[in-house]
Amino acid sequence: MNSYLQDDLLPKLHDDEEETEKDDAKEDPLSKKMMEYFLESRTILLFEQIEPKVTRRIITQLLFLNAQDPKKEIKMFINSPGGVADDGLAIYDLIKLIDAPVKTIVCGLAASAAAIILVAAKKENRLALPNSRIMIHQPLGGARGSTKDIEISARQIIRLREQLNEILAQETGQPIKQVQEDTNRDYWFTTGEAIKYGMISRQVEKMSAI
């Protein structure tokens, strides 16, 4: 892989930008080589909290792999507690946008925004390992400022909640009222429960089954 692509396509070992700059020279070459291998094998790893820097990397990888071969499958392994809802929606939209089929596989946790990313794949392409957990809920608010600003933020949170509920209803086949009720609180699924709800299609225990 060309070196100029590595910064955007490969995840960093450190989240802090200053620390990353200092430690780039010390970065484990084996880890870097492994990440290059995963990308070359059309595998994306979402193993972090979802925030703008992670979103940029995931979107860049999706666009890059789609440009390479828009007909060849991309696998995305997910183990994430979630994060910023807008970033989750950005990745969701990108998975829908590209022509390359994406298969999402939960290996651990797919919570909050990560659950939205999970359901971006077609239902038959949504999988989970046996001991995985999935969680959906309403977006969290943290409005500050004047009363007017708080009112505006509250309206946006309500609109975002409706948007996320509509996505979950559409992708799972559940009635919108059921989704609204379930997302009033943290709603947890085991792998088996996620299959019944429509979050995923099946459980996998071997790589050959993926």
Q: Which of 137, 146, 201, 208 is catalytic?
A: 137
Instruction: Dig out the tokens for 202 from the structure.
Output: 């099946």
How high is the pLDDT of residue 140? 73
Angle, to 10 degrees, between the axis of helix 85-97 and the axis of helix 147-172?
40
The predicted pLDDT at position 56 comes to 97
Domain ranges of the chain: 42-209
41 as an active site residue: the answer is no
Which of 3, 31, 80, 112 is catalytic? The answer is 112
Would you state the CATH architecture of domain 42-209?
A: Alpha-Beta Complex (3.90)
Per residue of the chain (210 residues), what is the pLDDT tens digit? 554 444 556 654 344 444 444 444 455 776 889 989 999 999 999 999 999 999 999 999 999 999 999 999 999 999 999 999 999 999 999 999 999 999 999 999 999 999 999 999 999 999 999 999 999 999 876 555 677 777 887 888 999 999 999 999 999 999 999 999 999 999 999 999 999 999 999 999 999 999
* pLDDT number for residue 50: 98
**Structure token digits, residue 54:** 């992670």
**Beta strand spans in the chain (E):** 43-46, 74-80, 102-111, 126-128, 133-136, 187-190, 202-203
Is 14 one of the catalytic residues?
no
Find all residues with CB under 8 Å of 207, minimum gap 6, and list them: none
**Tokens encoding 90:** 């950005």
Class of residue 64 by CB neighbours under 10 A (exposed 0-12, middle 13-18, buried 19+)? middle
Q: What is the structure's pLDDT at 149?
A: 74
